[in-house]
Amino acid sequence: MWRTSRNCWPRPSGGTPNWRPWRPAPDTPATPTPTGGPRNPTRWRRPCPHPCRVRTVPTRPALRRSPTGTPEVPGAVAAGSGDGILVVDKPSGMTSHDVVARVRRLVGTRRVGHAGTLDPMATGVLVLGVNRGTRLLSYLVGADKEYHAVVRLGAATTTDDADGEWLPVTDPAATEAALAVLTAGGRPAIVAATAALTGPIEQVPSAVSAIKVAGVRSYARVRAGQEVELPARAVTVHRFEVGEPASATAHARRVVDVPIEVVVSSGTYVRALARDLGAALGVGGHLIALRRRRVGAFGLECAHRLDDLAERAGLAGAGGSGGADSRPVPLLALGEAAALVLPTRVLDAGEAGELRHGRSIAADPQRRGGPVAGLGQGGELIAVLTEDGEAARPRAVFAPAAPGRADTEAGNPLGVLESS
């Protein structure tokens, strides 16, 4: 792309050949540029590639904003985007950020985030916040999660899942004998091994994880060839159920595949549970399948497939354009979502008006602590409160103070939980 210019002396970005600093001779008076001003002796000059024409680099288009101040995706389809929660059934092979990027196009806004990363191999529930719904995600991050998974006993891997390389077996004969016992009705032995992995435990996360070590993601250090040792962290495994083991063959070796169902606290790595279960049985283990069934109150029954959302929005695909029959993407309203996540308090008109302006209201004597979702008479979410015994103070205000005014958050205007 070319643009006409009368000034052909832009500064180069680096050591580009044929660029040289222009400096006038000491006795040469400053000469005006074609635009009328004196030349700056520190500017860089090169011959114009074409008379009065300079090569330019295409730039990213400026980010548009809707009338409410919400950033919009250039060229996106405004398929009824609003404020709320969207539950997606993530397909295998996509990262959580890939899902966020696609939903941004579907709803026509960049203000989309998720509450809890799923590995590319995993499928299932991924909770997304849209526009003001992103500010509810921080109250979902600590929710318990339910998974269905398949553990492969008989081999450990570098990543504790099927994407890693198999580690060598130290004692093949002993491993083969133990697998033969597990194949011939060894479910009781597997169930007994899960007892030490149930309840409050200290778990060492998988080295290939997003945990930062000295500011660098652990998985990045592992990929760079570094050895990473992560400290154990306190987690809770509320339920650990084992299905019937099945014998299989992989990499020309006997293995045993065991289906499991677990309900765990936030921060628990199911890959690490598979690794530790195999270690407890003395045969090694890793995860070969993972499906998240529930995050807090949001389960698969309310999850939407990405292809269905694209069809609903009138898109032929991720890069398609909207049709005339496009319908709004189904978002769960903020009030309904907050009622599923937090205890609620119904506000009268006066209390709602005070909270809309970020002011405290009288505390509910029967409540203390927080957070609490303050709902209007119509069920709309006004604010998230903290009850301290004397006053109920707004932690985040969701309802605008006046029509057209952007939402505010106490101490953090327009706070958005960034996506990853």
Q: Which residues are catalytic?
A: 119
What would the DSSP string read from start to end of 231-278? PPEEEEEEEEEE---EEEEETTEEEEEEEEEEEE-TT--HHHHHHHHH
One-letter amino acid at 45 equals R
| CA separation for the pair 33, 318 (Å, rounded) | 49
Question: By the 8 A CB rule, do 158 and 226 touch?
Answer: no
Helix (H, G, I), strand (E, B) or coil at 200: strand
DSSP state of 319: T
Tokens of 192: 């007994």
- What gap in Å lies between CA 108 and CA 162, rounded to an integer? 36
The Cα-based distances of 202 to 59, 145, 158, 231 in angstroms read: 50, 18, 21, 9
User: Closest by alpha carbon to 91, among 343, 303, 406?
Assistant: 303
Please count the other Cβ atoms lying within 10 Å of the Cβ belonging to residue 251. Answer: 8
Read off φ and ψ for residue 382, nearest 5 degrees.
-90, -50
Give CA separation, 246 vs 255, 290, 301, 395, 414, in Å. Answer: 9, 17, 29, 51, 52
Tell me the residue length of the chain: 420
Q: CA nearest 358: which of 321, 390, 405?
A: 405
